[in-house]
Amino acid sequence: MENNHNLSKKKLHTPSAFRIKLIIPSVFFIVTILFLLTISLFYFQSNNQNNNIFEKRFTRTKSISGDFYKYNIESDAKAIQAIMTSLRVSKELSSIFATKDRKKILEYVTPLYIELNHDYNITHFYFSDLNRVNIMRAHAPDRYGDTINRVTTLNSESNRSVAYGVELGKLGTLTLRVVSPWYSDDGTQIGYFELGMEIDHIISRLERILDFNIELFIHKQYLQKDTWNEGMAVLGRNIDWQQFDSLVPTKQIINPIFRSFINSKDENKTFFGGSIKSYKKDGSTFWLLSVPISDIEGRNVANLLMLADTTFETDVTQKTIITVGLIIFVLASLLLIAFLRQINKIITHIALEESLLNKMANKDSLTNLYTRRVFDESLRREIKRSESSKYTFSILLIDIDHFKNVNDSYGHHSGDIALKIVSKIILDSCRDTDIVCRYGGEEFIVIAKSRDSQEVKVIAERIRESIQSTTIDIGNQRLINITISAGISSCGDNKSNDFNIVAAADRALYRAKSAGRNCIRIA
């Protein structure tokens, strides 16, 4: 027992025990001291490090903001061009434009402009003649008769094609303008058509992405003081032309940091070249970013001044490197996520706009025939045409007999096959000038231009016989035959509006069904 006790004493004084008792605590103490010294050193160097970190961060943000602005300009220009393409195919608008009758043009385009302004932020809507003399501004009907000498219009005139770009207006507003020659139905140029949108919505998008306060400043050298002051009065904006040496804001500055910075003229004389700088006010730290904005001529006509409050981040970085690193990582991650989410929203928005533009093609996705909307618009045009002349047209309303039985017995897919085949037979039997539409589920309607009821009845009989004799393969070795009934009406004294002529065709169709189906009746 005594020997075991002595052995225990010897173990307490072995080199291993000595290291545990003395060396390890000493190392721990030294490491702690070094750690504290490191933290202390960082505390004194944190301001410089913080500036470097934020300068790199906001340099990237400035670059991203510039790219975002250019991307939105290009994207919006493409969207406007797509809208213009859809408008140029309107024969009615072309004919009204060719008359140069301001009252008629304004009456036609006013609801169109209201819709474009609401849905697509269109703020400028121009028609000008071949000499670039303005015929009508939908957004400002009282202003007309002036010659449009903007670069976009001159470029469109020179190249005889669509031209677009950002231009500075006399009132100090930056507008994306898209100008296109306008041609009549025979290919003769009759003037110019212009759509535009102010770039304020791009700034709003950027504010939502970055969560910064952003203001747009215009260089005074490109403005006339008297004209600008008159414009601000018209727009109801109380802005002092003298508050800044070489620039003016586009709206009243509310943020007190911006006002303080604007008043510090010695600090900001050279700032608007596109630099980044920190700014301290009342114990808080801010970073100011300036993004130059160029017009279509490549002139630096404006600057985006972006204000980020970094007080919280700066205070945290002075406490610990780890916290600073985590904060920067989190902020950078949030910034990236916010940016990617916004880009995704923009892509989704563009996709929706493209989808809307595709819908403007007005084709039924199943049958590839025109839709009910096209029929209604076309019918109104044909009725107007018939009222002003001896022009005659007819309506052919077709319905598939007992079509519900096809869907119930064989399924909707088989019904879709039958609809496609019937649609093709009808379309192949009509002229290119006729308007063939899908009127309802299994109903089809045709506007037969320059034809009376007897002529249309010959076509209808040909369609009926062709459908009756066609055996339809609906898959799985199943064959079916179907028939149609049809009603015909023509424009005349008793059918002076779209309701009467369609109702007459519908009554004729009802008589055909009452007669046993698979036949044609004339109203």
Helix (H, G, I), strand (E, B), or coil: what is residue 436?
Answer: strand
Q: Nearest-CA neighbor of 127 among 194, 49, 190?
A: 194
114 touches 86 (CB < 8 A): no
- What's the DSSP call for residue 220? G
Residue the block writes with tokens 């490491």: 31
The angle, 0 to 180 degrees and rounded to 10, between the axes of the packed helices 200-210 and 321-359 is 140
Cα distance between residue 313 and residue 328, in whole Å: 8
Is 442 known to be catalytic?
yes
Number of neighbouring beta carbons within 10 Å of residue 188: 9
Give the up-direction half-sphere exposure of residue 306: CA atoms within 13 A in the CB hemisphere.
28
Q: Among positive and negative, which fits the CA dihedral 104, 110, 115, 117? A: positive
Cα distance between residue 37 and residue 99, in whole Å: 85
Helix/strand/coil (H, E, C) string of 87-107? HHCCHHHHHHHHHCCHHHHHH
446 touches 398 (CB < 8 A): yes
> What tokens were used for 495?
């059918």
Residue 252: which residues within 8 A CB-CB, separation 6 or more? Answer: 237, 238, 239
H/E element, 43? helix 24-88
Q: Nearest-CA neighbor of 74 among 304, 277, 346, 316?
A: 346
Max Cα separation, the chain? 135
Cα distance between residue 255 and residue 504, in whole Å: 67
Q: Which of 198, 353, 382, 442 is catalytic?
A: 442
Cα distance between residue 250 and residue 199, in whole Å: 11
> What tokens were used for 136?
């009508």
Q: What are phi and psi of 443, to 5 degrees?
A: -105, 140
Catalytically active residues are: 442
